[in-house]
Structure 1
């Protein structure tokens, strides 16, 4: 989730925040490995991206998270910034969920899509651990999904934020690494 150019690309506008941590943790390589593992098991892969129309009508003006998006030209749908980071190799048949808030569920097509697919379990990854991943786990839990956080495919703005979010999420989700994940059960 939110593995897009505006947030994680080494030349993107948030490179100083996330790129060093993503690089040091090997998040992109591990996420690629997880995606390959999921596809080999016949699982559906989906990407969740934050984005706003060019006039930013969906952008909440009072949000501490998104209030600067308009001024900085961030998260504009249809542009390079909201594209999934190319090394993750999204495919045309992957799910593409666009959100306008931190939550991957709020005001999106995620819930009806998962219901239509008969989904029972979610494997959550992305940036940031304490933002979209944490919110996705809590909301997924409350929608009766079994949630698995793939810890080594997540990053926060700091290691402390990441660790704190993982600690909080263990009440609502199983915490695993790419090597521990099994799509068989």
Structure 2
């Protein structure tokens, strides 16, 4: 009898923590189609900005190969267009830095040894790359570190839209995209990384992140797979937006 009472108390405690009652199964988003459903999902586009994508940006000028970043943009624009068609929540992440957010450890991080400033507030480098243009119905979240969840309102924005699943993409796969995806998982979102809408400056780094995501954090999918999951959905794109 005592053991049965103990088990009941434990079940009730687990149910309270997880937010569901005994006798009612949790809604689990198991498949890619479920995790891409506009009822649950948001597209999170990370740092597709001039300094990270353009050859004239700080990454290109310090010798990084930005070819993959430039090449993935058409895939991303097509995905954004289709996401708008089905009414998916879209959030653009934009990095900016200034004297108000700089700290010694941040200023002297390894990637800045060349002395080139990156995404300084108000500069061309901090602007979105050509073709990336948010609409009034889409959100821009400003970040100052690698993760889009750290000291930003991203989590609040997603919770306000009842988002459970984040489709993460952008630049660089192994830095800001991966850090954002990891933190998203720590905040209990389902995470899907979009492989052909993300890019790193070395192929091995890009592939390493994708494998790590598959093993520990969520799903990896192509833009075509995600668009295919929306094929049967009606268009919700509002005219004039």
Q: Same fold (TM over 0.5)?
A: yes
2:189 corresponds to = 145
Query: How many residues get paired?
Result: 179
Q: Distance in 2 between matches of 1:166 and 1:131?
A: 12
2:69–2:201 contact (8 Å) kept in structure 1: no
2:102 to 59, 73, 82: 59
**Alignment CA distance shift 1:77-1:90 (3 Å):** same
What are structure 1's unaligned runs of at least 5 residues? none
Deviation at 1:21, TM superposition (A): 2.1
2:218 corresponds to = 173
Other structure's SS at 1:91 match: coil
1:18–1:155 contact (8 Å) kept in structure 2: no
Other structure's SS at 1:86 match: coil
Deviation at 1:142, TM superposition (A): 1.4
1:17 to 56, 60, 64: 64
1:84–1:90 contact (8 Å) kept in structure 2: no
Q: Note the 1:1-185 alignment, pairs <5 A.
A: 1-15=46-60, 16-23=63-70, 26-53=71-98, 56-63=99-106, 64=109, 71-170=115-214, 171-181=216-226, 182-183=229-230
Please tell me the root mean square deviation across aligned C-alpha atoms, in Å: 1.9
Other structure's SS at 2:220 match: strand
TM-score by length of 1: 0.88
Deviations, residues 137-159 of structure 1 (Å, cap 9, x unaligned): 11111111111111001111200
- Tell me which stretches of 4 or more aligned residues in structure 1 moved more than 4 Å: 65-69
2:50–2:125 contact (8 Å) kept in structure 1: yes
Deviation at 1:92, TM superposition (A): 3.4
Q: Distance in 1 between matches of 2:125 and 2:88?
A: 27
Q: Distance in 2 between matches of 1:14 and 1:93?
A: 30
Q: Distance in 2 between matches of 1:92 and 1:82?
A: 20
Over alpha carbons, which structure has the higher Rg? 2
2:164–2:190 contact (8 Å) kept in structure 1: yes
What are structure 2's unaligned runs of at least 5 residues? 1-45, 234-241
1:59–1:67 contact (8 Å) kept in structure 2: no
